Amino acid sequence: MKTRGGDVKIDGGCHCGEITYEAEINPDNVIICHCTDCQTISGAPYRVNVPVLVERFRLSGAPRTYRKTGDSGDAVATTFCATCGAALYSSKGETPSFVFLRLGGVKQRAQLAPKKQGFCRSAMPWALDIRDVLEIPAPAPSKDA
């Protein structure tokens, strides 16, 4: 997935497949966000964002946008699939130069380990190290599958 200058090509989309995208990103900029908006909107203890320059982002489909003022004080637009509800990306301000893709929809997500984390004061302390949490075995494959 390498392109020029250490940037990589990625692609992904929502759960139901109505929305897809492609982007070129710098993997060194992948960042965890522990802000309370990310916790509430994602339903998860933290969110992982992949910053993409707008001109290096190609979207297919018609997602919906929810607008609010973020913890940072900026106007934030959060974009998601209206059919399956999957989070897609956010952007700041009226003419954003970046979108912040949600890592969970990116196909190459296993290779995009975050290099930074922000809003650590609102981090869930128990989410910072889950290695000792009891692992339950994966369910056996269904006979119908």
By CB under 5 A, the residues from 103 to 132 that bind Zn ion are none
CA of 26: how far to CAs of 23, 40, 52, 83, 127, in Å?
Answer: 10, 27, 8, 30, 26
- Piece of 21-29, 34-42, 96-104, 133-141 that binds Zn ion (CB under 5 A): 34-42
CA of 60: how far to CAs of 20, 22, 70, 75, 138, in Å?
Answer: 5, 9, 26, 24, 34
CA of 65: how far to CAs of 69, 78, 119, in Å?
Answer: 13, 5, 23
Nearest approach in angstroms of CB 105 to Zn ion is: 9
- Piece of 22-30, 74-82, 107-115, 122-130 that binds Zn ion (CB under 5 A): 74-82
Distance CA 114, CA 86 (A): 20
- The yes or no reply on residue 81 touching Zn ion (CB under 5 A) is yes
Nearest approach in angstroms of CB 115 to Zn ion is: 16
Find how far residue 82's CA is from the centre of its chain. 17
Q: Which of 7, 10, 12, 14 binds Zn ion (CB under 5 A)?
A: 14
Nearest approach in angstroms of CB 16 to Zn ion is: 3
- Piece of 1-9, 31-39, 107-115, 123-131 that binds Zn ion (CB under 5 A): 31-39
Do 22 and 3 contact (CB within 8 A), yes or no?
A: no
The residue ranges that bind Zn ion (CB under 5 A) are 14, 16, 18, 33, 35, 38, 81, 83-84
